[in-house]
Amino acid sequence: MFDTLVRNANLPDGRQGVDIAIRAGHIAAVEPGITAEAGQVIDATGRLVSPAFCDPHFHMDATLSLGLPRMNVSGTLLEGIALWGELRPLLTREALVERALRYCDLAVSQGLLHIRSHVDTSDPRLVTAEALLEVRDRVRDYIDLQLVAFPQDGYYRTPDGAAALERALDMGVEIVGGIPHFERTMEEGRASVEALCRIAADRGLRVDMHCDETDDPLSRHVETLTAQTIRFGLEGRVTGSHLSSMHSMDNYYVSKLIPLMVEAQIHAIPNPLINIMLQGRHDTYPKRRGMTRVPELMAAGINVSLGQDCCMDPWYSMGAADMIEVAHMAVHVAQMGSVADKTRLFEAVTLNPARAMGLADYGLAPGCRADMVVLQAADVTEAIRLKPTRLFVLRGGRVISRTPAVTAALSLKDRPTSIDPGLDFRPAC
Ligand SMILES: [Zn+2]
């Protein structure tokens, strides 16, 4: 007797028509033709069942603040940072919590149950950290929320940057962030990477740094991050977010840098929606894309995940808590269109960020926590093509969101009366 049985599921690894049995919040069996009774049966009808999505790079303190106190006119990263600076003194804990909880509702409906959010520590009031720590507790039953202490205005560039970051860690923020390319000089950026890795080593924490979110081909903070990771014995515990400079770097230099990243076991998190929107802004034509070298990093064996970064905030007016939308953009920006490529990019919003975030019990194997999504698409490549409806979202085996399948009723002579975009248009092979 199981609590829940998900029947006739296609899995991201290509297995088709399998059943997933759930007991006591965890997956008990994954095999075809399970005949045991279950309290609840969900018929996946030959559609894709994925582990819940992970967003390893987000800013939950800024989300849904679009239009406060005004819109970003130029659309640039720097106007976004300036605009956020205007909003920051006006932020209240109550409003931050309310927006974050609303965002989490949307995330659940999209099957996004694991989120790593940066928390701006630039305002020494730390109302952002207070609010998101409260949110982390309040959503614990349905979303795993990790928090990164992020000195948005610079660790050294602001007088309280260093002290406020440490206070946020004392309050319970669990990951050390940074922004070396925004410090005043290359040297202060280098020194910030060293200081922040030292803090992480001393406190036994992970590092996730905005590192070289810039078109500057000569920015060298990724190299510094690899060196300090090895120096402090943090291999496998350090993430470089964005890494945009690598898009513009000289190829010879990149051929040196990628092996250094492999050696330091750096996790890479490009953010395709935001990189394509914010980078290359000083170019005429041709315009650079600004996303780091995803296929080359993957080919070298680096753990590459994709982040959403923003949803309706000073930097990005769009976003929908949809990690498949993020993968869909990556297909285009990285020109990764083959079946194998799309499978890798699907892993970059599921398995890979779970590794970068150190999530235990993640996946669809027996023993894993039963956090999963039934999608209105037959397989991974169709899911990326369609950005399909999330029919069921399960957390610990309990259905926490359901959305009816989208079908269109047609009134056409000699044509079908209805179509299902998730099943009726599959490729021949
Ligand atoms: Zn970010």
Using one digit for the tens of pLDDT, what is the confidence trace for 214-254? Answer: 999 999 999 999 999 999 999 999 999 999 999 999 999 99
Ligand 1 centre to CA of 309 (Å) is: 5
Distance CA 83, CA 67 (A): 10
Q: What value does the mean pLDDT take over residues 244-270?
A: 98
Task: For 160, list phi and psi in degrees, rounded to 5.
Answer: -100, 5
Name the least confident of 56-65, 195-204, 250-259, 418-427: 418-427
DSSP letters, 313-345, are BTTBS---S-HHHHHHHHHHHTT--SHHHHHHH
- Does residue 429 register a pLDDT over 80? no
Ligand 1 centre to CA of 210 (Å) is: 6
pLDDT in tens, 85-118: 999 999 999 999 999 999 999 999 999 999 999 9
Distance CA 429, CA 427 (A): 5
- The pTM assigned to this predicted structure is 0.97
Q: Report residue 123 as tokens.
A: 């305002």
Ligand 1 centre to CA of 407 (Å) is: 36
Q: Which residue has the tokens 């406020």?
A: 164
- The answer to whether the peptide bond before residue 353 is cis (omega within 30 degrees of 0) is no
Ligand 1 centre to CA of 70 (Å) is: 20
- Does residue 428 register a pLDDT over 90? no
**Range(s) within the chain of domains with CATH label 3.20.20.140:** 53-357
Ligand 1 centre to CA of 232 (Å) is: 24
Whether residue 213 lies in the annotated active site: yes
Residues 164 and 204 sit within 8 Å (Cβ to Cβ): no
Ligand 1 centre to CA of 314 (Å) is: 12
Ligand 1 centre to CA of 406 (Å) is: 33
Assigned CATH class of 53-357: alpha beta
Residue 77's pLDDT is 85
Instruction: Look at strands 206-211 and 175-176 and give their pairing.
Output: parallel
**Range(s) within the chain of domains with CATH label 2.30.40.10:** 2-46+363-425
Ligand 1 centre to CA of 224 (Å) is: 19
Ligand 1 centre to CA of 154 (Å) is: 13
Ligand 1 centre to CA of 58 (Å) is: 6
Residue 75's pLDDT is 87
Of 331, 377, 325, 304, give the one whose Cα is nearest residue 56. 304
Which CATH entry fits the domain spanning 2-46+363-425: 2.40.50.140, 2.60.40.3880, 3.90.45.10, 2.30.40.10? 2.30.40.10
pLDDT in tens, 347-391: 999 999 999 999 999 999 999 999 999 999 999 999 999 999 999
DSSP secondary structure code for residue 151 in this structure: -
* Per-residue confidence band for 194, with pLDDT thresholds at 50, 70 and 90: very high
Catalytic-role residue among 213, 223, 347, 382 = 213
Q: Which residues contact 76 (CB under 8 A, 6 or more apart)?
A: 278, 281
